[in-house]
Amino acid sequence: MLLRMTFAFALTLVLAFVAGAAAPVTTAQPPSPLVRVELISETASIRPGETFWVAIRQEITPGWHTYWGVNPGDAGEPTRIEWTLPAGVTAGEIAWPYPSRFPVGIAMSYGYENAVVLPIPMTVSGAAAPGTTLVLRGQVSWLVCAKICIPEEAPVALSIPVTAGAPRPDPRGASLIAAARRSLPVPSPWPASYAATPETVTLNVTTRELAPERVAEVWFYPSRWGAIAHAAPQRARIEPGRLTLEVERGQLAEAATTTLDGVLVVAERLDGGIARQAFALRAEPRPAANARAALWAVLLALAGGLVLNLMPCVLPVLSVKTLALVGHAGGRATLRRHGLVYTAGVLLSFAVVGGTLLALRAGGQAIGWGFQLQSPTVVILLAYVLFAVALSLSGVFIVSGRFAGAGHALAGRAGYTGSFFTGALATVAATPCTAPFMGAAVGYAVMQPWPIALLIFEALALGLALPFLLLTLVPGWRRFLPSPGPWMERLQQALAFPLYASVAWLVWVVSQQTGSSGVAAALGGLVLIGFAAWLYQASRGARLTWRRAATLAVAALALGAVGLGPLTSAMSSPPAAARADGWEPFTDARLAELRAAGKPVFVNVTAAWCLTCLVNERVALRSPAVAEALARRGVATLKADWTNRDPAITRVLGSFGRNGVPLYLLYPAGGSGAPAVLPQILSESAVVDALDKL
């Protein structure tokens, strides 16, 4: 009551004033109320247990505006609704269409003019009885401003029958709400970052598919007050593939040190008109001039590289190399040289892989770490190489002539090439294994200028090379290795089996990428490799002509096997996306739909060739406790499968500062709010805890 009286008082004052001599904006006396509200519904009836959409529609007197709920700007207050709902009906949060700007002196307001439709998801319980009519009531309050501001409020109500059949459409409501939905920001397809100085904030957006000459205007509406000065000009520079927006820094210093969320509205000139599109953007701070962040990324990369040594795909390769050290009795200098050559092999391979990645990205390709494994050809070739190494460990063929070979090869001059290629092999074998720390470092790297990016890749390489390098450089450390003996041969043979397992897994990856025809080709190639290995070894003691013929045959077999690789990718036809494991395939649209319905969503960004991902799925995501927690909280589960190249998923990764899998996102219920990013190594309890926090 007091409230009403105060409104009346305020309104009287304002009207008295406006009616007075110095009318500030409108020549006519403002109508009362300045905003008419109504509650509309997308459907004319609802079905028990379903989500349906209603909306607050505001018709605003020309020249006046109401406010954006995410951030009203420097002044103002968003429209609100206080519901009085029948039992069994629950209301979600308002989904805010993107706003317009209203500069008022030195302040900037974000809001809507003329008319706006604010959609709200509603859920009706399964217990609602068909045949009854539900009455949704609410008190809507808002602030409406031109030069002056007036708080207004009004009751709204909507009667809607419950039916057993499919909901009947409400033509007017449906078309208004559909139009409003087109104005809701969609998740940004573009990776973004920002750099802050004490005076400015510069937003960097990697905009593919945006023609600079067509852009009429861009404006960034931050989700929070304080990071940027709302009223300051936004200097946009649009180049092919890149958009930078420089704006004065806001008053809240700490706001420009954490994630900057907001809506980027891009107005494009299309034939005969301007089309606006709003993207929900999330930019991580990119301290461009900040050496500390770069150093931190380098340290993370170094740590990630060290951990890579323990990964099942790398460990056997390196163990063999280490075994060679045990048996070695040669000079220190030779050893040291082997260590350095091996390190050079790793560094160079990483430079090649990292450089290729950066070059392809610069060319506009949406790819990330592990991209080479998205090609079935590369996966098959990797399987062949690991298979050949495994056969050699098993003793099917011996490269150096005599067994004990590894040690001899290491000591011998020719062995340097071997050391170099062990480094290259370790790099190649390491790709499918994402170690902890690596994701953040690589994600940071690809957003940096190339010299810093390469530095980070090389730090990763150095981490990988470091244990072996130290063993060769610091002779004292070799004391910790056991003394040589016949056990070495056993161990070497035993180490072949993790490699065979890796080969089996890679063939499974091929099956995911190409289907059964690809697997057939891959297996055929493996048989040829096996035959070539046997032939090579069997012909060792034979006559010269026979050996020559055999060598030719081995080469032909190997070439044939390699030739099968591209053949399989030619055959590739990705298998059906949907799998019957309760995880729906991810699309931007599906995520937006689920969020709009107010559901919490778990997004699992994974790939068949990512071992870490598979382990996480096995130990955490598929565990009964997690399944139970997901079900209990009604969490929708989406799986973004990056096994094959997929620009849409690369963009999702990019928007979280990542460049490789795995990535786990947990979106809260209610349609708004940033998702929690779960760690790259999951445990059952970590996932359950995260779900409990919802």
Partner 1 sequence: MSELSRRAFLAASGLAVVARGSLVIPSPAWAAPKTGVAAPAFTASTTTGKAVSLADQRGKIVVLEWTNHECPYVLKHYETNNMQALQKEATGQGVVWLTIISSAPGTQGFVSAAEADQLTASRRAAPTSVLLDPTGAVGKMYGATNTPHMYVIDKAGTLMYAGAIDDRPTTRRSDVQGAQNYVREALQAVAAGQPVKTPVTRAYGCTVKYA
Q: Where on the chain is the footprint of partner 1 (CB under 8 A)? A: 2-3, 6, 9-10, 13-14, 17, 22, 24, 74-75, 77, 103-109, 143, 145, 147-151, 212, 215, 217-219, 225-226, 229, 231-239, 248, 251-253
Q: In angstroms, what is the minimal distance from the CB of 250 to partner 1?
A: 8
Strand runs labelled E in 552-612: 584-585, 601-606
Identify which of residues 148 and 688 has a Cβ nearer to partner 1 in the complex. Answer: 148
Strand runs labelled E in 510-629: 584-585, 601-606
**DSSP codes, 406-434:** HHHHHHSSTHHHHHHHHHHHHHHHHTT-P
Alpha carbon distance 618, 635 (integer Å): 19
Q: In angstroms, what is the minimal distance from the CB of 269 to partner 1?
A: 12
Closest CA to 187 of 590, 664, 602: 590
Q: CA dist 609 to 398, 423, 437, 502, Å?
A: 30, 21, 19, 10
The H-assigned helical ranges of 218-331 are: 291-308, 315-327
**Pairing mode, strands 601-606 and 636-641:** parallel
Identify which of residues 234 and 322 has a Cβ nearer to partner 1 in the complex. Answer: 234
Q: In angstroms, what is the minimal distance from the CB of 482 to partner 1?
A: 58
Give Cα 31 distance to the centre of its chain. 50
Query: Coil, helix or strand for 1?
Result: coil
Q: In angstroms, what is the minimal distance from the CB of 233 to partner 1?
A: 5
Identify which of residues 109 and 434 has a Cβ nearer to partner 1 in the complex. Answer: 109
Identify which of residues 140 and 635 has a Cβ nearer to partner 1 in the complex. Answer: 140
Identify which of residues 200 and 683 has a Cβ nearer to partner 1 in the complex. Answer: 200
Q: In angstroms, what is the minimal distance from the CB of 289 to partner 1?
A: 20
User: Tokens standing for 94?
Assistant: 């308002």
Q: In angstroms, what is the minimal distance from the CB of 103 to partner 1?
A: 6
Q: In angstroms, what is the minimal distance from the CB of 92 to partner 1?
A: 22
For 608-639, the three-class secondary structure string (H helix, E strand, C coil) is: CCCHHHHHHHHHHHCCHHHHHHHHHCCCEEEE
Identify which of residues 149 and 425 has a Cβ nearer to partner 1 in the complex. Answer: 149
DSSP state of 162: B
Phi, psi of 603 (to 5 degrees): -110, 125
Q: In angstroms, what is the minimal distance from the CB of 76 to partner 1?
A: 8
Closest CA to 72 of 245, 184, 224: 224
Q: In angstroms, what is the minimal distance from the CB of 218 to partner 1?
A: 7
| Cβ atoms of 374 and 643 closer than 8 Å | yes
Give Cα 570 distance to the centre of its chain. 28
Identify which of residues 217 and 628 has a Cβ nearer to partner 1 in the complex. Answer: 217
Identify which of residues 144 and 180 has a Cβ nearer to partner 1 in the complex. Answer: 144
Query: Radius of gyration (Cα) for the chain, nearest Å?
Result: 32
Identify which of residues 106 and 352 has a Cβ nearer to partner 1 in the complex. Answer: 106
Q: Which amino acid is at 192?
A: A
Q: In angstroms, what is the minimal distance from the CB of 672 to partner 1?
A: 18
Identify which of residues 245 and 390 has a Cβ nearer to partner 1 in the complex. Answer: 245
| Strand order through the sheet with 676-678 | 584-585, 636-641, 601-606, 663-667, 676-678
Q: In angstroms, what is the minimal distance from the CB of 7 to partner 1?
A: 8
Alpha carbon distance 592, 580 (integer Å): 22
User: Tokens standing for 362?
Assistant: 């610069």
Q: In angstroms, what is the minimal distance from the CB of 220 to partner 1?
A: 11
Identify which of residues 7 and 531 has a Cβ nearer to partner 1 in the complex. Answer: 7
Beta-bridged to residue 273, according to DSSP, are 270
Identify which of residues 179 and 274 has a Cβ nearer to partner 1 in the complex. Answer: 274
Identify which of residues 213 and 271 has a Cβ nearer to partner 1 in the complex. Answer: 213
Query: Which residue carries 């993207």 as its tokens?
Result: 279
**Pairing mode, strands 149-161 and 242-248:** unpaired
Closest CA to 44 of 238, 179, 174, 142: 174
Alpha carbon distance 643, 378 (integer Å): 13
Closest CA to 499 of 222, 232, 311, 305: 311
Burial 11-21 (b: 16+ CB within 10 A, else e): beebeeebeee
Q: In angstroms, what is the minimal distance from the CB of 16 to partner 1?
A: 9
Identify which of residues 54 and 203 has a Cβ nearer to partner 1 in the complex. Answer: 203
Q: CA dist 80 to 73, 77, 142, 151, 255, Å?
A: 16, 9, 6, 11, 25
Closest CA to 416 of 573, 183, 424, 55: 424
Phi, psi of 107 (to 5 degrees): -110, 160
Strand runs labelled E in 114-164: 115-124, 133-145, 149-161
Q: In angstroms, what is the minimal distance from the CB of 242 to partner 1?
A: 10
Q: In angstroms, what is the minimal distance from the CB of 232 to partner 1?
A: 6
Identify which of residues 248 and 588 has a Cβ nearer to partner 1 in the complex. Answer: 248
